[in-house]
Structure formats: structure tokens, C-alpha cells
Amino acid sequence: MEINDKNNNKVFLIGVALIAMVFIFTFFRSGFGSKKDSTQESTQKILNYPEIASEDLKNKLKNDENIAILDIRTPDDFAMTHLINSSNTTSEEIINAIPKEKVIIIVGYTAKDEEYTKIVDYLKENKYDNFFILTGGFDSWKQAGGSVISIGNPTSFPDAAKVTYINPEDLKKIVENKNYPKYIIDIRSKQSFDSGHISGAENILLDDLEKSASKIPYGKEIYVYGDTDLPGFQGGVRLYDLSFMTVKVLKGGLEDWKNKGFEIVK
């Protein structure tokens, strides 16, 4: 009898345990399902907006089509890296300045980004009908090999690989050779430039390189410098990202140039 009672107790406990497991599984499955349904509804709302794939956007940019790119990520993320010639804004004033005939491309983090709702609603309200969301957002663009411009991170191996240096002595010889096909860019402030710069240098601020790219000749070797190595490095990275492949950065910047007693003009 005692053995039977023990067996019955075991069976009873196993039964209770199985019932508890079924209850817990059903409860969590129900909760997960409701969250999943909610997420799907939210995603579906976003995916109902017109989208453009990275490859299609590449073709439009290659064909120089009439495009305005609005990047709605945070200013910090935009500053680190972004699509070339894009604007980081949800400002109504800037959006209103975009001609209606332009194709507007909206770049966010992913295709599920809730921040799309606000800007899309604004575009619709203001009769901007020709707009698309970049499928998969900025990360998908980079994964697809889309062109971007980087702030120039000296600890980044890809950025470091973009930069070639020239020492002051070699640049001095090039500056003195009036027939050498060169274009020297001083990326310091106008005030610093006016107080003294390398002979023949053009003053284009570091943050203006992107919008001033059309002024920079492709048929010459390009040399860039700032006060020190870091801004020069950042200038070299940005110019490389803008497809200027013959850029060299002055090693040590203008400080090293001056320390060697080389000529400065005003």
C-alpha cells in the first residue's frame, strides 16, 4: 500500500507540473503574440509608405536625377557619416524650400522607424507627392555599398586607409615649382587663413568641403592642411569620400610647417 501511495503521489505531482507548464506556455505565447501583432501593425503602417531600394537610389544618383535627400537621424549620427549632399533636418522651413518637382528621399535608421510618420504626414499635407523612404534605412544603404561621407575618425581603420601624408619638405618643393599641377586647400577659419597661409592655398572650411566639391579640380594633385594633424586627416577623409583620390595631407599641419621656418603669406 505504501508503495502504491508513493506512486500515486508521483503521478499526481507530474500531472500538476504538466498542467502548470501548459498554462505558462499558453500565457506567454498569448502575450508574445499580442506584442508581435502590435509590432506588425506598426511596421505595416510604415511599409505602406512608398519605398526605394538602395540599388534604385544608386542609379538615380548616378544619373544625376533631381533628388533631395533628407536624413532624419540624430545630428550626432549624421555628423559621423551620411549620404553625400544630404540634409539632416525635419525643419519645416528647409522642407518648404525644396521645389515640388524634386524627388525627396527620406533616410532614417530602419524601415520600421516611427519618426517617418511625422515627416511623411507633413509632406502629404503640403502637397509633396513625389517622395520615398529608403528601404532598410541608412544601415542598409551602407551594407549595399552606397557612397557616404565620414567625419574622419582617426581610430577607424577604413578612414585611416583613405589618407596619404606628405611631409613639409616635399610640399615645399611642390609649392616652389610654379608649373606643378597642384591645388592646395587650407581648411582653417577665414580669420586664421588671413593671418597667414601657404602660398597658393585656397581657403575652404572643413565643414564646407562637401558643398564646395564642384570648385575643386579633378585634374590636379590636391593637398590639404589644417592647424594640426587631426583636422587635416578629417579633410583628407572627406575629400576621399567625395571621390578625390589624389589627396595628400600635410603631416603635422601648418604648425609643423611654420616650425620649420617655411614661408607663410598673407
pLDDT tens, N- to C-terminus, the chain (266 residues): 444 454 455 545 555 555 555 445 444 444 444 444 444 444 444 457 899 999 999 999 999 999 999 999 999 999 999 999 999 987 888 888 899 999 999 999 976 657 788 898 899 999 998 999 999 999 999 999 999 999 999 999 999 999 999 999 999 999 999 999 999 999 999 999 999 999 999 999 999 999 999 999 988 999 999 999 999 999 999 999 999 998 999 999 999 999 999 999 99
Topology of domain 51-150 in CATH is Oxidized Rhodanese; domain 1 (3.40.250)
**Cβ neighbours for 3, distance < 8 A, ≥ 6 positions apart:** none
SS (H, E, C) the chain: CHHHHHHHHHHHHHHHHHHHHHHHHHHHHHHHHHHHHHHHHHHHHHHCCCEECHHHHHHHHHCCCCEEEEECCCHHHHHHEEECCCEECCCHHHHHCCCCCCEEEEECCCCCCCCHHHHHHHHHHCCCCCEEEECCHHHHHHHCCCCEEECCCCCCHHHHCCCCEECHHHHHHHHHCCCCCEEEEECCCHHHHHHCECCCCEECCHHHCCCCHHHCCCCCEEEEECCCHHHHHHHHHHHHHCCCCCEEEECCHHHHHHHCCCCCEC
Whether 206 and 235 have beta carbons less than 8 Å apart is answered as yes
In terms of CATH, what superfamily is 157-259?
A: Rhodanese-like domain (3.40.250.10)
**What is the pTM (predicted TM-score) of this model?**
0.77
| The predicted structure's pLDDT at residue 45 | 47
Grid cell, residue 138, equals: 541608412
* 244-255 pLDDT per residue, tens: 998 999 999 999
- N-terminal to C-terminal alpha carbon distance within the chain: 110
Domain boundaries, the chain: 51-150, 157-259
